[in-house]
């Protein structure tokens, strides 16, 4: 998983509340277990019409927001059914951080496991970031996870809270597998000792 330390990037304003996981990635695209290739279907019903042509009014179809790495959203982002594919689609598109007043719990938890930073900020601060984002290519927003600060192009700084352990995992780029691999030598020692003690224990296979 890619580390997240400090990101200065273009932000896209998505001024919609209660964006559920089906809007983020419709159910018909959930057949894959691969994390790649989902970005093209991100916000599919919002981005494309019934003829699969882009809707020019949708923010991620507009320049320069096609290259946005930060998404500024409204309340209750990621609500609806449990769907890790929603986070995969955002990350595959290139989004590294979503800033909103609130998130659905399951989406919030899934984000940390996949290298996406969800930042909760009060609505007035999100509105200021929305305004800054609408300036387009002339405005870059900075998210500093080490300092737990979001900075506007004009230098305003908004602090955010985050669980210290989750912060550590993002800073180090550790998902669940990465955490386990940190203890690889101890796991190998345990298995070797058990294998020597219990003949039935399955051997290591390539």
Place 181 in a pLDDT band, splitting at 50, 70 and 90: low
Q: Are 35 and 177 in contact (CB under 8 A)?
A: no
Q: Are 90 and 24 in contact (CB under 8 A)?
A: yes
Which sequence spans correspond to the domains of the chain?
6-174
Q: What is the DSSP string of 115-155?
A: T-EEEE--HHHHHHHHHHHTTGGG--EEEETTTTEEE-TTS
Query: Cα separation of 199 and 190, whole Å?
Result: 14
pLDDT cut 90: percent of the chain above it? 76
User: In this structure, what token pair is assigned to residue 45?
Assistant: 């019903």
User: In this structure, what token pair is assigned to residue 61?
Assistant: 């179809």
48-96 confidence digits (pLDDT tens): 999 999 999 999 999 999 999 999 999 999 999 989 999 999 999 999 9
Q: Which residues have CB under 8 Å from 80's CB, separation 6+?
A: 20, 21, 22, 23, 104
Measured CA angle at 139 (ends 3, 153), to 5 deg = 80
Q: Can you give the pTM of this predicted structure? A: 0.86
Q: Are 10 and 70 in contact (CB under 8 A)?
A: yes
CATH architecture of 6-174: Alpha-Beta Barrel (3.20)
188-200 confidence digits (pLDDT tens): 666 666 676 776 6
Q: Are 92 and 115 in contact (CB under 8 A)?
A: no
Q: Determine the pLDDT at residue 61.
A: 97
Backbone angles phi, psi at 47, to 5 degrees: -85, -30
| pLDDT, mean of residues 178-197 | 63
User: In this structure, what token pair is assigned to residue 126?
Assistant: 């999100």
Q: What is the DSSP string of 1-36?
A: ----SEEEE-EEE---SS-BHHHHS-GGGTT---SS
């Amino acid at each position: 998983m890619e580390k997240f330390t400090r990101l200065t990037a273009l932000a896209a304003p998505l001024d919609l509340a209660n964006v559920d996981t089906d809007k983020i990635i419709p159910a018909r695209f959930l057949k894959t277990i691969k994390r790649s290739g989902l970005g093209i279907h991100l916000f599919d019903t919002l981005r494309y019409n019934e003829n699969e042509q882009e809707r020019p009014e949708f923010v991620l179809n507009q320049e320069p927001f096609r290259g946005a790495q930060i998404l500024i959203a409204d309340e209750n982002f990621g609500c609806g059914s449990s769907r890790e594919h929603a986070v995969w689609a955002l990350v595959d598109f290139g989004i590294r951080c979503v800033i909103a007043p609130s998130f659905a719990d399951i989406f919030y938890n899934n984000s940390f496991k996949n290298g996406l930073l969800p930042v909760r900020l009060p609505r007035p601060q999100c509105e200021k970031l929305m305004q800054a984002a609408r300036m387009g290519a002339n405005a870059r927003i900075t998210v500093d996870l080490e300092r737990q600060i979001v900075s506007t192009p004009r230098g305003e700084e908004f602090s955010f809270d985050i669980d210290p352990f989750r912060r550590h995992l993002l800073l180090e780029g550790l998902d669940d597998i990465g955490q386990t691999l940190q203890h690889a030598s101890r796991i190998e020692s345990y298995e070797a000792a058990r294998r020597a003690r219990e003949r039935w224990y399955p051997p290591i296979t390539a």
